[in-house]
């Protein structure tokens, strides 16, 4: 309630100032004080030019101050992200040029064409050529920008290369679950009614043998440098959004509707730590869609490694099937067998027959 009251007071304050200014203007006109009005217009026109120069200097200063703190300085960490960056820069250059040009004309005209004694209003109702110019040119420019954006979008969300690494990404409140195919290179089936936080967080269908070698991890996902990776994205509860800010990619995670995107990492995590001179640098996977009161904490880590490092990591992982059925884990059986005490063989001693003397 206090916020609305403050807003109402501010609005009322500006209305009072506006009404006082208008009343003063009307009084000056009634008194025949035209010189006062013209002087006021001259001051306002001069202030318009000052505001234009100060505003453009401010924009330049903010760019110099804050641009080095953006991720644009690091460059995109994926091949596809480079296309996004180039598209963004093209858009900024086009819209920036239009912004500077239109604002410069707007404020300059306010100064140049201020009310003066000998200035006459020129009635300009219609000009077909001019209207075609300011309609067709923006339409062509915007169409080019849209086509570039759609081309990149269809590329990122289209079919990934055949040799792409496939990883399933599932959002939940408030974290990420990742699933990798095993030796069969295929992800098994899942069904939401099978979800059990204790032993089956994804609802895998154990009757499907393809699920038996799937590897499931949480919060940290491993991808390979310079190898395309395809994310199959879904959600376990509400709508989330997979945000890969360093790779310039993002995609909605919708319950019951799988979405996909793919990209090719350019630098390992270690290489990026060297590039940024930050030994604690980590690629992040964030939720870019408000998904509840714990949304701020929904952060995961992407480890970009070499193929050899990924193979070594994968070799240490156990299929998720063994978490649900530990008794079927061969390594567990072997450990149990080795823990059993060995049964010692007791030799049987046959007593010798005693000789009986008579």
CATH number of the CATH domain containing 298 = 2.60.40.420
| Same domain, residue pair 178 and 260 | yes
Cα 178 to its chain centre, rounded Å, is: 17
45, two tokens: 């026109």
Range(s) of the domain holding residue 64: 38-115+128-157
User: Is residue 265 in some structural domain?
Assistant: yes
Same domain, yes or no, for 83 and 178? no
Burial environment of residue 329 by CB neighbours within 10 A (0 to 12, 13 to 18, 19 or more): middle
Residue-wise pLDDT tens digits, 238-280: 999 999 999 999 999 999 999 999 999 999 999 999 999 999 9
Tens-digit pLDDT profile for residues 143-186:
999 999 999 999 999 999 999 999 999 999 999 999 999 988 99
Domain membership flag for residue 152:
yes
Which tokens hold the place of 262?
Answer: 């793919």
Contacts of 172 (CB under 8 A, 6+ apart): 201, 235, 236, 237, 240
**Position 339 confidence tier, pLDDT thresholds 50, 70, 90:** low
Comparing 30 with 189, the larger pLDDT belongs to 189
132 and 202 inside one domain: no
Same domain for 181 and 321: yes
* Whole-prediction pTM: 0.76
Same-domain check for residues 50 and 106:
yes
Count helices and strands in the chain by DSSP H and E runs = 8, 10
Q: What token pair was written down for 179?
A: 């699933």
Same-domain status, 97 and 233: no
Does one domain contain both 186 and 252?
A: yes
Is the distance from CB of 253 to CB of 176 less than 8 angstroms?
Answer: no
Clarify whether residues 313 and 187 are in a common domain: yes
Q: Rounded to 5 degrees, what are φ and ψ at 318?
A: -100, 145
Total domains in the fold of the chain:
2
């Amino acid at each position: 309630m206090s916020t609305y009251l403050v807003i109402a007071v501010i609005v009322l304050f500006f209305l009072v100032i506006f009404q006082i200014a208008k009343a003063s203007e009307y009084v000056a006109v009634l008194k025949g004080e035209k010189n006062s009005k013209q002087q006021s217009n001259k001051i306002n026109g001069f202030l318009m030019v000052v505001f234009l120069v100060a505003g453009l200097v401010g924009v330049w200063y903010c760019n110099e101050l804050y641009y080095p703190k953006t991720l644009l300085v690091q460059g995109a960490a994926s091949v596809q992200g480079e296309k996004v960056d180039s598209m963004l820069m093209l858009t900024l250059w086009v819209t920036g040029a239009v912004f500077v040009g239109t604002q410069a004309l707007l404020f300059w005209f306010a100064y140049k064409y201020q009310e003066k004694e000998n200035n006459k209003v020129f009635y300009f109702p219609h000009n077909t050529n001019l209207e075609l110019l300011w309609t067709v040119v923006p339409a062509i420019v915007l169409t080019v920008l849209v086509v570039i954006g759609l081309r990149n979008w269809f590329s990122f969300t289209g079919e990934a290369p055949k040799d792409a690494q496939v990883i399933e990404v599932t959002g939940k409140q408030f974290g990420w679950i990742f699933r990798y195919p095993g030796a069969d290179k295929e992800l098994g089936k899942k069904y939401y009614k099978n979800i059990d936080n204790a032993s089956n967080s994804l609802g895998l269908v154990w009757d499907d043998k393809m699920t038996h070698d799937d590897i499931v991890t949480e919060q940290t996902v491993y991808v390979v440098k310079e190898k395309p990776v395809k994310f199959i994205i879904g959600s376990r509860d509400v709508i989330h959004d997979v945000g890969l800010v360093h790779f310039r990619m993002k995609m909605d995670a919708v319950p019951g509707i799988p979405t996909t995107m793919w990209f090719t990492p350019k630098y390992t995590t270690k290489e990026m730590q060297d590039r940024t001179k930050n030994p604690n640098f980590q690629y992040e996977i964030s939720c870019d869609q408000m998904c509840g009161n714990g949304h701020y904490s929904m952060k995961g880590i992407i480890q970009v490694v070499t193929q050899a490092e990924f193979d070594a990591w994968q070799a240490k992982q156990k299929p998720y099937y063994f978490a649900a059925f530990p008794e079927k884990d061969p390594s567990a059986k072997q450990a149990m067998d080795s823990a059993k005490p060995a049964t010692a063989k007791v030799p049987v001693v046959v007593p010798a027959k005693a000789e009986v003397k008579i």
